[in-house]
Structure 1
Amino acid sequence: MLFASMLALGALIGFVGAGGAGVTITLLTVGFHVPIHTALAVALASMVFTMLSGTISHFRQHEVIIKTGAVLGLGGIVGAIFGANFSNMMPSDLLSSITGFVLFSSAVTLYIKLYQAKWLDRHLHVRHELLTGRRLWTRGIAIGVFMGFISGAFGIGAAAYIQLALMVVFGVPLLQTIGTCMMVILPISAAGGLSYLFNGRLDFPIFIQTLAGLMIGAWFGAKGTHLAPLPLLKVAIVGMPAVGGIIMILFH
């Protein structure tokens, strides 16, 4: 049942084109009563493989700003280690509630990006050139640590936040934000996953079923993305983390 459910979820993730780490956590905890710490570990460890394949694909298409991604990723490693160890000490109920709220907040961020782009442009100054030099390192490390902490502590990829930061703070062009974001999340998920492993939280049978189901399902789901109307895709992108967050908050 777990593998079959992850196949279906993977197909939906592949269709929508979203990472789905938060929804994976919701399905594991609420649907299969997997302990929240184990679910976070499985989600982060699974993201390593999905982000690796995605980063390689975008790199081949020249859609990755390597230096910016490397600086943010370096800070993210530190943040993810602290976040995973902080999460390991939290009570399960409190951790589940906060994870649900973080997941829902990512849905709100995605809604603003997709449906309120003009409002966003009016209220945020988007850089039109790449941030370089000392400011790249100071801001990149600081923001990377923060994003890594969120991801490590709550198992959420924080992709929506990272993509916004890449555009607004670091001047990464829109076309290259997705690939660069995947590059940032890759070391974050690896560091967080290893930290959970060292804390004895990673359940390998659950991890293997989850990873296999998500990857196989996503491969099939991605083939239908170009067939879907854009309004449907936008609703699905926002709706997945929103529903996942609400379920986590109400039913954990």
Structure 2
Amino acid sequence: MMMLATMFVLGLLLGFAGGGGSGFVLALLISVFQIPIHTALGTSTTAMIFTVISGSISHFKEGNMKLKTGAMVGAFGAVGAYFGTQVAAQLPETPLIIVSALLLFVSSILLFFRTRLSGSVNVEKVFSRKQYLLLAMGVGGSTGFLSGCFGIGSTPLIQLGLMIFFGLSIQQAAATSMFVLIPISFLGAFGFAQAGFVDITLLVQVVAGTMIGSFIGAKFTRLAPVQVLRTVIILLPIFGGILLLT
């Protein structure tokens, strides 16, 4: 019951902020529920599939999402995620935990400065087909690899890339990042399942809470003041990083 309640609350926050939440789920599983790191990686990444699908449906209905950009970045991200899982399977526990926590801190800092400078409105950019593909490959491939290797979901980095390189507003980036994470989470989960790092019983408990919470939380993204959304997006990875290191 405690696991379900914890994951439901987390799902509310993830749906609102546009995150898959594998980094925060990873932190909770390791620090609070004492799950081994590789099992936590595989299970949190697999759970992210259901969270991001639920949140994406809700965001799409709310009209927040940029489907074309999300699909292109997500496709390249899926390839990066699969290769990331192959690297993660070979890494010892301590480096995985430390690097995952550091990535969460860094992404939060970058988001803080980017959203502070850009304000609440960005102007969507126009690219040639070649430029568009290269940007999608760069943003998707790099964030997908980090997601697969270190289990952080890379949501803040994806949102940062969508705002900087594609000109999406903070609301659009929050929504579109969930769509990007669908193929990333699928390929990441496949890679971890191949390595035997997915606990089905644990997965069901995580998914039951986060999926319902994510669907409900996404309803409030468009309604919330930009400053509130910005604060939640920035603070979530910080809390996740702190949990990983405790």
On whether the aligned pair clears a TM of 0.5, the verdict is yes
Q: Which residue of 1 aligns with 2:143?
A: 147
Q: Which residue of 1 aligns with 2:59?
A: 58
RMSD of aligned C-alpha atoms? 3.0
Gaps of 5+ in 1: none
State the identity as a percent. 38
Gaps of 5+ in 2: none
- The 2-side partners of 1:14 and 1:136 are apart by 27
- The 2-side partners of 1:66 and 1:222 are apart by 16
Q: Which has the larger radius of gyration?
A: 1
Pairwise CA distance, 1:179? 3.2
- Whether contact under 8 Å (1:20, 1:241) holds in the other structure is no
TM value normalised by structure 1? 0.82
Check 1:243–1:64 CA distance in 2 against 1; reply closer, same or farther (3 A cut): closer
- Whether contact under 8 Å (1:83, 1:152) holds in the other structure is yes
- Whether contact under 8 Å (1:54, 1:182) holds in the other structure is yes
- The 2-side partners of 1:204 and 1:61 are apart by 32
Does 1:215 pair with 2:211? yes
Paired residue secondary structure (1:34): coil
Between 1:151-160 and 1:232-241, the stretch displaced more is: 232-241
Aligned residues: 245
Question: Match for 2:161 among 158, 165, 177?
Answer: 165
Encode CA deviations 1:121-162: one digit per residue, 9 max, x unaligned: 9xxxx7642323111112322331111101111112222222
Q: Which residue of 2 aligns with 1:42?
A: 43
Does 1:24 pair with 2:25? yes
TM value normalised by structure 2? 0.84
- The 1-side partners of 2:227 and 2:70 are apart by 30
- The 1-side partners of 2:158 and 2:223 are apart by 28
- Whether contact under 8 Å (1:148, 1:188) holds in the other structure is yes
- The 2-side partners of 1:151 and 1:35 are apart by 18
Check 1:66–1:91 CA distance in 2 against 1; reply closer, same or farther (3 A cut): same
Alignment map for 1:82-101 (pairs within 5 Å): 82-101=83-102
- The 2-side partners of 1:175 and 1:228 are apart by 10
Pairwise CA distance, 1:61? 4.7
Letter in 2 for 1:82: F
Pairwise CA distance, 1:188? 0.5
Paired residue secondary structure (1:89): coil
